[in-house]
Amino acid sequence: MSTQALSETRTLLGRSLRHIGRSPDTIITTAIMPIAFLLLFVYVFGGAIDAGADDYVNYLLPGVLLITVASGIAYTAYRLFLDLQGGIFERFSSLPIARSSVLWAHVLTSLVSNTVSLVIVIGVALLMGFRSGAGVLAWLAVAGLLVVFTLALTWLAVIAGLSAKTVDGASAFSYPLIFLPFLSSAFVPTDSMPAPVRLFAENQPVTPIVDTLRHLLGGTPVGLEVWVALAWCVGVAAVGCVVAASIYRRRVS
């Protein structure tokens, strides 16, 4: 990416962030569902769930953070769809700016807004009794993994936003992504699940990501799963980026 393209991306990022600044309710709405899950699972189900952890909020938080991102990217698809429908992309294509900067601006906006949502959710978890034995490096690793995960899902959101026929269609794609953590080790250990469900749960992308985050936040050693988690995130991000770019070229050519 050239200096010129970076400058254009920064300008368009400013535009998108101003949109979010004018409607901060989107960030609040994004955080409401994961916070509701936190409250529900910790206070209502937590006492009855045997997850093998001393404090269920510590066990639960990593999965809820992934749900936060999954619900947040629906807005990325929504904003992208509105831009596409509003004809702003056609106006951009007539300007001497890099095509990639338009998409990257949306992706980085998603990164910023999801980071804010994640901070809100972690804040609520702290109020609910979440405590971490992680050091500074471990927290940086958590932040890094969440950034890569957000990028991966955001590129999927870009594909959905560019391909959708309706506003509802643009954001509805996130429902399966929100549901995926339920079929993982996010809420209960996978060994308590029946064999077919366990087979799926142990081999889907959310489980290694959740387990890695849980180990990092708990200050316990991370095994091979960190590489599996990163491979999933980077793989999805790379494929998503390529597919999104080709759809974008087709849509605005």
Partner 1 sequence: MTTLTQERHRTAPLPDDDGGAPGAGLLSSIGLFTLRSLRHSFRDAESVLMAVLLPVMLMLVFTFVLGESMAVGDGTRADYLAFVLPAIALTTAGFGASYTAVVVSNDVTTGFMDRLRTMPFPAVSVLLGHTVSSMVRNLLATSVVLLLAFALGFRTEASALELVAAVGLIAMWILVITCVFALLGLVSGSAEAANGYGFILLFLPYVSSGFAPVESMPSWLQGFAGHQPMTPIIDASRALITGGEVGSDWWIGTLWCIGFIVLSVWMTAVVFPRKVAR
Among 47, 87, 96, 221, binds partner 1 (CB under 8 A): 47
* Residue 56 or 155 with smaller CB distance to partner 1: 56
Of 193 and 252, nearer to partner 1 (C-beta) is 193
- Asked whether position 169 contacts partner 1 by CB under 8 A, the answer is no
By the 8 A CB rule, do 132 and 43 touch? no
Q: Provide the b/e sequence for 49-69 (b: ≥16 CB within 10 Å).
A: bebeeeebbbbbbbbbbbbbb
23 binds partner 1 (CB under 8 A): no
Residue 53, helix vs strand vs coil: coil
Integer Cα distance of 248 and 104 in angstroms: 12
If the CB atoms of residues 182 and 230 are measured against partner 1, the closer one turns out to be: 182
- Check residue 45 for interaction with partner 1 (CB under 8 A): yes
Q: Is 186 or 244 the residue whose CB approaches partner 1 more closely?
A: 186
Looking at the Cβ atoms of 101 and 190, the one nearer to partner 1 is 190
Among 1, 6, 28, 40, binds partner 1 (CB under 8 A): 40
Whole-number Cα distances in Å, 233 to 69, 147, 188, 243, 250? 13, 10, 22, 15, 26
Give how far Cα 117 sits from Cα of 33, 163, 165, Å. Answer: 11, 26, 28
Which is nearest to 209 in space by CA: 94, 29, 61, 110? 61
Write the binding mask 69 to 108 for partner 1: x where contact by CB under 8 A, - elsewhere: ----------------------------------------
Token digits for 215?
């180990």
**Which positions lie near partner 1, rule CB under 8 A?**
40, 43-51, 179, 182-183, 187-189, 192-194, 197
